[in-house]
């Protein structure tokens, strides 16, 4: 299991938007240059974040801005916006365990509750971390490098 890079790219985008707001037009090309990915990737993520109500995007070259206070946006909000978690389940279970095998017949009963506990723990931790936390740390590191 691995969360896709969409999540970390989205967090990176939030940090860029906040750090560079007022200094640059925050277009997908500008954001892509910081993330070092194709601007198509950024546009897809911006669309997902916009659909979740986390950012606004001005048409044309107006750029992106954050739609809420940074301390109101959690990692879980971003994760839910950009990750394609089917039916709210982090773990994708293999499709057809063999019902004629004693392990295959029981594996769902063995794992389902355990996997849900892991997912709930991860989501609870993600709920505690905000974009404000990331931006504060980013600003601090930038300031340290300037000294």
In a domain, 115, yes or no: no
Average pLDDT, the chain: 91
44 domain residue, yes or no: yes
**Is 94 among the domain residues?**
no
pLDDT tens by residue, 61-110: 678 999 999 999 999 999 999 987 766 677 777 778 999 999 999 998 99
pLDDT at 16 over 70: yes
Whether 104 maps to a domain, the answer reads: no
Note down the domain range covering 67: 5-85+130-146
Residue 86: CB atoms within 10 A of its CB come to 7
Question: Is residue 102, in this structure, part of any structural domain at all?
Answer: no
Q: How many domains does the chain have?
A: 1
Mean pLDDT of 120-129: 96
Residue 1 has pLDDT above 80, yes or no: no
Which pLDDT score is estimated for 22? 87
- Domain-embedded: residue 74: yes
DSSP 50-116: HHTTSEEEETTTTEEEESS-GGG-BHHHHHHHH---GGG-SSPPPS---TTSHHHHHHHHHHHHHHH
| CATH number of the domain within which 66 lies | 1.10.10.10
Residue 137 lies in a domain: yes
Contact present, 60 and 121 (Cβ < 8 Å): no
Residue 77 lies inside a defined structural domain of this protein: yes
């Amino acid at each position: 299991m691995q969360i896709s890079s969409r999540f970390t790219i989205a967090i990176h985008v939030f940090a860029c938007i906040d750090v560079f707001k007022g200094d640059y037009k925050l277009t997908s090309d500008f954001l892509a240059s910081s993330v070092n990915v194709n601007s198509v990737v950024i546009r897809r993520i911006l669309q997902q974040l916009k659909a979740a109500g986390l950012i606004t995007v001005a048409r044309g070259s107006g750029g992106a801005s954050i739609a809420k206070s940074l301390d109101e946006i959690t990692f879980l909000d971003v994760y839910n916006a950009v990750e394609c978690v089917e039916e709210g389940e982090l773990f994708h279970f293999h499709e057809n365990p063999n019902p004629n095998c004693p392990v295959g017949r029981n594996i769902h009963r063995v794992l389902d509750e355990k996997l849900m506990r892991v997912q709930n723990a991860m989501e609870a931790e993600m709920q505690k971390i905000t974009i404000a936390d990331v931006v504060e740390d980013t600003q601090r590191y930038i300031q340290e490098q300037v000294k």
